[in-house]
């Protein structure tokens, strides 16, 4: 299996030289609020974003992902704004005796469009493995949601030269369960060593990984590879957004702490709009 993967990587990188630069996908800025928020702060944040962005650019979408209890409130706050609703997790189960779980159909029922799957924090703190994440992606798709699939390596894995092997392992587990000819996902690259640290990968690192990911998608299905947004999810903020937004194959950002500050979140959106 390892030999086969290395051959695939080599062929993919050659392929990327010829087709990678021609890929086009809608850009997205998706906020992940994590375990933060309140009725009052949610209202203030959304009202500020809407005041700064009364109309969204059709080339750049925006979504916000609060914790489960606030989904109905935020759905109401963003109504008519063009902002989409995201969720931070879902169960791989549809229904049954699974205390504390939330099914994709339930998220869909309250207006959710996107759901984050495989975030580095869930891999690290909840022990979610590739197989579970793949089942969650399939469950999201079956419920009519768009999964935001997070992939990425740890610092130790990068320093050991294992980045490509880790990404392939994470991607292959998911793509064994989806149909690239019809399913829609969003892919987010999270260098796990950059999450919540304030340290972003260099433009060269981001370009290399996003190019690799685009090539993987195109190799799976050309049209799928063209339409699938690839977001950067490693401490993107108002200060570095303009630099990251112009990197080839970067179609937006999965934003953590900066998504809780209206000015920064809108600055990131404006940087993506300028690069669109």
State phi, psi for 172 to the nearest 5 degrees: -60, -35
Which class for 179: exposed (0-12), middle (13-18), buried (19 or more C-beta within 10 A)?
exposed
Structure tokens belonging to residue 35: 């375990």
Query: Active-site residue 153, yes or no?
Result: no
Distance CA 177, CA 138 (A): 6
> Pick the catalytic residue: 119, 121, 128, 210?
119
> Pick the catalytic residue: 92, 121, 128, 190?
190
For residue 264, what is the enclosing H or E element?
A: helix 262-275
Query: Active-site residue 119, yes or no?
Result: yes
DSSP state of 258: G
Structure tokens belonging to residue 276: 């669109």
Nearest to 216 by CA among 176, 158, 167, 160: 167
Asked if residues 62 and 253 have their Cβ atoms less than 8 Å apart, the reply is no
Hey, CA dihedral for 107, 113, 118, 120, is it positive or negative?
negative
Asked if residues 71 and 111 have their Cβ atoms less than 8 Å apart, the reply is yes
DSSP, residue by residue, 202-216? PHHHHHHHHHHHHHH
Nearest to 183 by CA among 136, 140, 152, 129: 140
Catalytic residue numbers read 119, 190
């Amino acid at each position: 299996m390892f030999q086969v993967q290395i051959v695939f990587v080599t062929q993919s990188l050659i392929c990327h030289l010829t087709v990678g630069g021609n890929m086009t996908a809608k850009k997205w800025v998706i906020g992940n609020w994590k375990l933060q928020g309140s009725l009052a702060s949610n209202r203030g944040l959304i009202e500020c974003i809407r005041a700064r962005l009364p109309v969204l650019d059709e080339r750049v979408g925006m979504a916000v992902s609060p914790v489960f209890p606030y989904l109905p409130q935020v759905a109401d706050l963003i109504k008519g704004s063009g902002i989409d609703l995201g969720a931070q997790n879902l169960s791989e189960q549809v229904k049954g005796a699974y205390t504390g779980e939330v099914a994709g159909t339930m998220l869909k029922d309250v207006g959710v469009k996107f759901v984050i799957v495989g975030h580095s924090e869930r891999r690290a703190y909840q022990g979610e493995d590739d197989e579970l994440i793949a089942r969650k992606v399939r469950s999201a798709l079956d419920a009519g949601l768009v999964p935001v699939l997070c992939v990425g390596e740890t610092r130790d894995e990068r320093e050991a030269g294992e980045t490509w092997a880790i990404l392939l392992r994470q991607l292959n587990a998911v793509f064994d369960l989806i149909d690239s000819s019809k399913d829609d996902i969003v892919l987010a690259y999270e260098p796990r060593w950059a999450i919540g640290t304030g340290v972003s990968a260099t433009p060269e690192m981001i370009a290399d990984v996003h190019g690799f990911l685009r090539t993987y998608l195109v190799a799976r299905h050309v049209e799928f590879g063209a339409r699938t947004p690839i977001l950067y999810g490693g401490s993107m903020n108002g200060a570095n957004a303009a630099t990251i937004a112009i990197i080839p194959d970067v179609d937006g950002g999965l934003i953590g702490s900066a998504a809780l500050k209206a000015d920064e979140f809108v600055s990131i959106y404006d940087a993506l709009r300028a690069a669109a």
